[in-house]
Structures are given as C-alpha cells and as structure tokens.
Chains A and B, each alone.
Chain A
Amino acid sequence: MASALTLSELFDPDFLAALQPFSLHARRVARAGRPAEQTSRDRGFGLEFADFKSYVPGDDLRAIDWNIYRRLGRLFVRVFEERRDLPVYLLVDRSSSMYLEDPPRINAGLRVALALASIALGQHDSVGLYSFSGVLNIDAKAAAGKHQLVSFAERLALLDERDRTDLTGTLGELAGHRLRRGLLVVISDFFDPAGADEVAQALALCRHRLLLVQLVKKTDADPTLHADLHGDLRLLDCESGDAVDLTVTPATLARYRESYREFNERLTRFATDYDAGFVRIDGDEDVLDQLGGLFETGSLVV
C-alpha cells in the first residue's frame, strides 16, 4: 500500500504560488459572519449601496439621504451591503480506498484540499477541515487568516488511513453540527457501499453549497489497464474485505464499464440538478492543471 504525502511534499511553495490567480466567490453568504470579501445578506456600513429604508430613531444620521427628504419630505437612510466571509468546510475521505493504489488517490485529495484552503484563507474566508471514513472527524474547526495555512497543511499531512467509506452517514452526522451555512467541499472517490443514489440523497439534504471533488484513477474507467485484472479473479474490497469471484471477460468488462458509467452519471446529474460544483480529479495526473479547469475564469462562483 502506498504512503500518503508528507508535510514537506504537500506544502510545496511553487504549488501554492501557482494558486494565486484563483479566487472563490459565493453568490451570497449567510448572515452573521466575520467581515471579509464575500457578498452577504447583512446590511450595514459597507462600501456598496444596497437599499433605502425609513429612518427610525437610532439610525446613523450620516446615512440619511437628504435629497429624498427634500423631494418627498420623509426621512430615508441608505443601507450598505456588509462583506462577510464564506465558511469553507473541507470534507476529506480517508477511507482505505483512498490509500490503495500507487500513487494513492489521497495524494491528489490532499493537494486539492490544500489548494482550496489556500485560496479561501487568502481571501479571508474561514476554512474547516473534516475527514471521514466510517465516522466523521473534526480535524480543524473553521478559522480564517492566511497564517492558518501552515497549520492547515500540517493537519492534512496527519490524516491517516481509516477503514470503510460511509459518506451518507458522515453527511448526516455533519448536519448535526449546525455549522454556519457555507461551502461544503467533499473530496472523495464516492465509493460508498450504499451506492450513488444514497450518496446523492444524503448530499441533497445538506444545507451548504456543494463542491464535489471526485478522485478517480484511469483503471476505474478501464480495468484492462490494471495489470492484474484478467482471468479468474477473487476481487477483494479493500475496505470491507468482501470478495467477488469472477472471470474477466469482454462481457464482464462491458458490464463493469456500464455500471461505472451509471455511477458517474448519477453524480454528475446530482451536481447539475442541485447547482453544485463538480470536478473530477485524476489521481495520476497533475492536480494544478485539473484545478485550472475548475477555475476557468480565475474565479469559481459557488
């Protein structure tokens, strides 16, 4: 079994520098956040005019629009949009399937997580790190500030392999934490034994905006690229240990590909239906190049 990235491997200055052009924007963030750069529903003393409201005692007299008073004879005050932070919750899969191949998918997952954290922290958003396998772990509560990045990278590097994937249960557990609404980034292979439908249903119940990062390998789509996948096989699920005996034949392969295609289509359809972001990252390819596709215009709007 291949090992995951160490801190020195993960915290690559060149990689982080290449992320500078990217930014992450929410269409509107929830109220009661910390001041930051994201558009929010909060009204107050921001720079961008948002609306007028009738004056009530206690309002700031500096906000009274005297031109309206002159025309209408009534007092209105200008209200401005408050800029708030976007809470970004990185939910990283640390089940065994993420650590199986060489290089393991977790490497790409860690790089993606670090990249998104770097982008978010760079624009004063708060970033929380959660990992899951069979249970949910809170690895780092949401915190803001660029200085958090090193600490964040350390926590990512400390993630180790756990047992099975239970994404549906994890999402339910996460909902119980009553987190402020933000962006939930699920970094996983999505190989939940419950199936793609169950995963989609669990994701649909999330209160957060969603960005799904599917970590794949080329052998997922074409098992013939796997050197050992031919002939009479006993396939062992690396997480559950369940065995499937079969003979790899063209018919078997065709059925496998069909099943895998349906799985991917289900994820994609969910992302489309629920206006969630979706990106497929090949664990064998350069992560930065693939992220470039996600940040096509330099900014990802969620």
Chain B
Amino acid sequence: MSFANLPLLGVLAGIAGIAALLFLLQLLRIRHVEVAVPTTLFWREAAREAPVRILRGVFRHPLAYLLVLAICTLLWLAFAGPEAHEDRTSAYRVLFLDGSAHTAGGDDFERAVDKLKADLAGLPEGRREVIWGGARNIKLLKAGEDRLLLDRRLASLAAEAAPSALNEQLRLLSVPGVAPAALEFVVYGRAPAEFAVIERLPTGTRLSRAIDYPDGESNHGIAALGVNPAASGRWDRLDLLIRIAGTPDAVVGDDMTVEVGGQPLGDDRLERLGDGLALVRDLAADGREVEVRLEASDELALDNTARLTLPTRRAVRVALADDLDPAIRHAIEADPGLTITDEDASVAIRVRGAAAFSGLPALEFAPAADQATAFEIDYTGNDSAELALRASVAALGLDQIDAAGLAAEAQRPVGVQLRQAELPGISVWDELLAHYNFTGSRSFPLFVSRAVRWLAGEPAWHPYLAAGRPIPTATVWSLAADADPSLDALGADYVLGAAGTVSSDRGDEAVALLSEAVTERRLGTPLLASQAGGDFAGTGIVTWLILAALLLLGAEWYLYQRGLMP
C-alpha cells in the first residue's frame, strides 16, 4: 500500500493528528440557544437519558468516539490517495532510456544516463531490463544480465537526431499478453508519450518519468523542409519550402543560411512568408543537396540543421514515327517534360506493327479491327491485372477520358485490357484519333503526356525525407506494380530512422530531423500514475473509502435518530 498524495509517514501522522484533534475538541462545547420554559422538570429527565449532543457528550461514549474517528480516518485516507496495487517492489521494471532528439539538449542525456545507472543499482537483476529508445528500440540490458555490461554498451551511444520511439514501445505493451501483470515502465529522458497510447496501457502497468523536466523550453529549429514542383510550371524546376518552429514565436531571420550544392543561396532568392515560413522558387531539380542552417545558440542543436537532396527531373526523350497523327506531335511539343528525338529515346510512339524504334516501350496506334478493346496495356511486374488496372486508370489519365462520348461516336464499347509483358506498352485504336475526335478532347494531351512518362518509368521522387516518418512519394504516373522503394515486402511504410543519409538505387539522399515536437521541446501528456493505468486500484479504493465513510455517517445518523448514540 502506498499513497499518491502523501508519504506513508504523513498519512500516519495525519491520523494521529485527527485523533488528537478530536480528543481536544472534547473540551469545546457547542453554543446553545437559550430558551426559557415554564419548567425543566420533564426536560431534565429527558436529558438524563439522552444527554446533550455536545462534542464531549459525543465522545463520552468510547464507541461513539471510535465511530467518529473511523469516519475521519477514512476521509483522510481517501485524501491521501491510496494505491492498493500489488506489491510494486515485485513489479517487473522496464527502464526506457530515451536516446531521441528530445533528450539531446543540454545535459539532458547525461542526466538521464546517470539517473538510470543509479536506479538500476537498486533493482533485482531478474526483474528489470533496459531499453534504448533512439532511432530504433534496442534492448540494452536484458533481465538477468549484469548491470556492469551497461557501461560498455552505452559507451557508443548518444542521443540521436530522431524522434522518440517511446510511443511505439508503449503500443507494444498494449498488445494482450506482452506486458507482465505488474509492470513499472520508467522513462529516462524527455520522450513524450501520447495520451491515447497511455490510455491503452494494460491494467497493472504503471508509467512514470524518472526526471522532471520543464515543458516547452525555449528553442528554435527547422520543423519542415521540402520541395514541390515549381509553381512557375517549369518541368525541371522545384520550389523549396522551409519552416522554422519553436518558442517564442519563430521568424525567419538573418540567422538562417541556405546552401544549394555547397554554394550559399543569395538572400534575394529567399522569400519570407511570415509565421516562420520561407520559400525559394525555381530551384533546379538537378539532384544537388540543400542544407539549411540556423545560427541559433539554443540548448538543442540537432534541429538547427536540415538537409534535403533535390530530386532529378529530366525531360523524357520520345522517338516519334513519321506517319502519326499531327495532334500527337503537338501534344508532345506542348509538354516541357518531353523532348522529341530520334536518338537515345526512352519511349517510342508509332503505328502498331511498324519496325521503327523497336525494343523501346511504345505507345502504339492500331486499327480497331485488329484490337478487341480501345486501350490495351502491357505492364511489367507480378501484380494481378485488377491491381494494375486500378493503378493505371489514374496514372494514365484514363479517368479523364470521356469514354461514354467516344463509345457513342464509335458505336461500340470503349474498354481497357491489361496483360503482363516484358516491356511496357500501350496500344490505342487508331480510329479514336482519326474518326472519333479523341484528339480534340481536353484529355488527349494529358493521356499522351502521362502515357509517355509511364512508359519511360520515371522514378518516384521524394518531396522531403524526415527521420521517423514514412518516405513520401510524389509521382502519380507509375503503376503500383512498379517496385516502389517506399514499400517493404509486407506493404508497410518504410520509416526512416535518424537524420543523416539514406542510400537507395537512386543514390544517397539526405534525411532531416524535421520534428515539431522536438523543436518545441514538448513533453506531451504528463506521465502521471492516474493516466498510466498503473493505479488501477487507487481510484477504486478512494471510492470505496468515501462510500465507507458515508455508510458510517449514515449509521451514526441512524443510531443518533434511534437514540442509541449520544
């Protein structure tokens, strides 16, 4: 039994104080209302059997005194907030050392480690374990392992530029059967926990923080860094957006420098939008690295620098056969992301069956008599036709085509057929161009543009890469069957670890911290016992104590009414 609001000694002292106070109150008499009566003859007899209800009178009877003392003691115990969980000293303890960017400021990490070591010394080896919570959760010390091993394992560790993995660890505990019946989960560091996660902790688990930190310390940092296709419409250009967050209110000032490919960006290129936002327009999408730095001298340095690798966006080279409808050439020429060439082309556009530009993914036009459906799509990969069709409808802009109008003009259904092949290809009825006015529709240039890019297999690019978050993709014209590197084998999001560099088949890409919670030094929901589910019995006991006190009060009133108690 322990108490949330008072130490055990305080509770006992309080009970003794109450008993003494009640005893002293015996010396006090309540103030009576004086009433003159013709005679006190009968009242005196009545008072002899039912003495006046004064405090001394109440306590004159020892059982009555005990009843009052019991009521007061119950209320006092309820105030003390008892926690009637099982013996918490026998609870299994998980010591979670936060190695995330939250604990990287000042000497937070060193304090957390020192506190962890001090606490560890007093815990039985078989009933505790230490978990490192950095970019990945690692078990630093298993149950039963000697604590001396911890020093060596900690030697190479320091707080990382990654968001906390505490919530993931706590979510694991909420899985039935994972957490032991009585678990003390102690967080060493500033890692915040979400309220929803704490609420789902199983009964018997108590969550607490080893060190009290002030919430929301003053700090500034880069909370967002990403690119978008340039608003100017230029295919090979990108707009770069930067957001500074922190307290007090963040502003983009002269202390921020932006370098592109190692060269400082002129201040005239930086457009300050207010609210900590800055914009750089029309950066060349040439794969260079952008680095943003704040010269702030705050406690947390990890969020003062952020890097981003710009995507490379080159025009798709298209080989165009001579005998095609001129509308196709016009559509290609109108798209700045496409270049008509006869050499080194990535995609060919030709009449079906023509020998020109063989061996290339091709957009072909065939007579309706030779092709059952209006659109025949060859796709690579192992996805089913249904999955491929679902992805291709948007990727190729087929959903933008007025299929009903075309079908009405052609007086036959306009359909799509997909099949697996070694080379991607798209075959379309020639008559759609020549007779059914497909070239005159708004969807035609979109179809041509997207079809060419799909056939060229333009890789997805990332508008930003942030530690602890899934990789976002910006492409919309690739079939899901394309091996998307942002998906792992299970189809789950691939989450980046710490800030730094990630390597893929496209080369190295920079990953930034970009965490608003870290920058604003938030502690999240306080890890109070009442929110941790660990005091599962505490609230119940308080309720029962109050109920018992009320019951005794009722009993006292009943006895008093019946004249059984002074």
Contacts and interface: CB of A to CB of B under 8 A. Distances in A.
A9 interface: no
Contacts of A125: none
B560 interface: yes
A206 interface: no
Contacts of A255: 45-46, 49-50
State which size class the interface on B falls in: 20 to 34
A260 interface: yes
B39 A237 contact: yes
Interface in B508-566: 560-563
Contact of B41 (A195, A228, A247): A195
B42 A233 contact: no
A237 B30 CA distance: 20
A296 interface: no
Interface string B31-58: 1111111111111111101111110000
A254 B562 CA distance: 11
A244 B561 contact: no
Contacts of B47: 244-246, 252
A89 interface: no
Contact of B35 (A97, A228, A247): A228
A259 interface: yes
Contacts of B42: 256, 259-260, 263
B563 A250 contact: yes
A217 B39 CA distance: 12
Given A193-B41, A256-B42, A256-B43, A250 B35 contact: no
A253 to B, nearest CB: 8
Contact of B46 (A238, A243, A252): A252
A232 B52 contact: yes
Given A234-B32, A256-B46, A259-B46, A247 B38 contact: no
Nearest to A251: B563
Contacts of A253: 46
Nearest to A230: B33
Contact of B44 (A236, A239, A244): A244
Contacts of A105: 38
A228 B562 CA distance: 22
A105 B51 CA distance: 30
B133 to A, nearest CB: 65
A101 B51 CA distance: 26
Contact of A233 (B33, B38, B39): B33
A234 B33 contact: yes
A234 B33 CA distance: 6
Interface in A254-297: 254-256, 259-260, 263
Interface of B: 30-47, 49-54, 560-563
10 contacts: A193-B41, A236-B40, A238-B39, A243-B40, A245-B32, A246-B52, A247-B54, A249-B53, A252-B47, A259-B41
